[in-house]
Amino acid sequence: MTAQALDQDNRAGERKWRRRSFWSLTLLIPLALAVEAYDSVKTLLGNNDLFPRRVAWGQSAQFGGSDWKLTDLRGAFGMSNLPPDSVPVLADFQVKIGNPDLQKLWLGCKIVLVDKDGRRWSPTSIVSLKTPDNVGNCISAIFSGARSGDTLNLRETFLVPKEATKSVRPAVSVASERPRFLLFQLEKD
């Protein structure tokens, strides 16, 4: 074999490997992007409330290892020293504890109000209303030491625009159930 024939064989082999490398890159780059995006998508789904599970008025729903029931949703009209056209709204729940590991199951516990347009309101501390001693909130319940079979009374207070009070619905989410969340319906729904 001459030097020229060896040189042509080397170039042909090099072109063949270049083509193989190019085709493998067209497969490996999207695969690498998918692997990198997986954690981001998993985090996005795990931190957001995306899929509602509707609960009728007066019904309870198993969620986060416990049975949640909306017992009252009312406005506290006639209060002074509030922003104009705003109303405090109280959401009361009874929760029968099933699995007592609330620190794990209820991590990131969140109760919000959602209106027909998808707007959300978080609980507020601006409005201070006298709460009975046996009533806590979502976060205090996590550390309450409740045992299986106990019933907890929870209340959250919200400050919402007056025009939204007709369409607000309470929603409950906990980390162990996300991206699903409970969306409670009112009597007339």
Rounded CA-CA distance 164/49 in Å is: 21
Q: What is the pTM of this model?
A: 0.74
**Greater pLDDT, 144 or 77:** 144
What six digits make up the tokens of 115?
């209106």
Quick one: average pLDDT of 156-184?
92
Q: What percent of the chain has pLDDT over 90?
A: 40
Average pLDDT over residues 122-135: 78
Tokens read off for 172: 């409950």
Three-class SS state of 185: coil
Residues in the chain: 189
Phi, psi of 47 (to 5 degrees): -105, 0
